[in-house]
Amino acid sequence: MDNEIQGRAAHVAAIREKAEAEMKEIGVDEAFISKLVETFYGRVLAHPELGPVFDARLSGRWPEHMDRMKSFWSAVAFRSGAYGGKPVQAHLGVANMTPDLFPKWLSLFSSTLDDVAPTPEAKDWFMATAERIAKSLTLSLFYNPALDDPTKKTG
């Protein structure tokens, strides 16, 4: 049992070390993640459609949200396991959230990366990750398998 636990710990450490090396190679560090999150959410607040949805949910709690998003992106990039949130549950019941906001979120994220990413590879990595997250959240929050039931389709 101890060997199994030690083997698991070594495996996790190797994953983290590899992620850290990959991120360093494309210019990603904690300072970049902080800048990305700060810049992006500043733009979210100013966005005519995204801003009201986010601010209604986070009013009075923006500093905590910013810290949470920095922790999230850091954990994802560096495979640290430090983020313990539940993104789907956090987005359930958000007033005025619709599936069509996700492409707008992604577009704003992309333009933010254009302005702050240290390398094209960093932009590519963060965009691919954001696209997976947006797809996952969209499916989790809005997908209804019954609507895809071929026996219920007309026409």
- For residues 36 and 111, the answer to whether their CB atoms sit within 8 Å is no
CA distance 124 to 23: 12
So what's the pLDDT on residue 88?
A: 64
Q: Report the candidate in 79, 82, 81, 77 with the shortest Cα–Cα distance to residue 28.
A: 77
pLDDT of residue 149: 64
Question: How many other CB atoms sit within 10 Å of the CB of residue 52?
Answer: 13
What pLDDT band is residue 142 in, cutting at 50, 70 and 90?
confident
- The mean pLDDT of 87-108, rounded to a whole number, is 81
CA distances from 106 to 16, 58, 115, 124 (A): 27, 19, 14, 13
Note the maximum CA span of the chain: 62
By mean pLDDT, which of 20-34, 77-91, 128-142 is the weakest? 77-91
Average pLDDT, the chain: 87
CA-atom Rg of the chain in angstroms:
18
Residue burial 116-141, b: 16+ Cβ < 10 Å; e: rest: bbeeeebbebbbeebeebbeebbeeb
Query: d(Cα 34, Cα 23) in Å, to the nearest integer?
Result: 14
Q: What is the pLDDT of residues 26-37, one digit of tens each?
A: 999 999 999 999
pTM above 0.85, yes or no: no
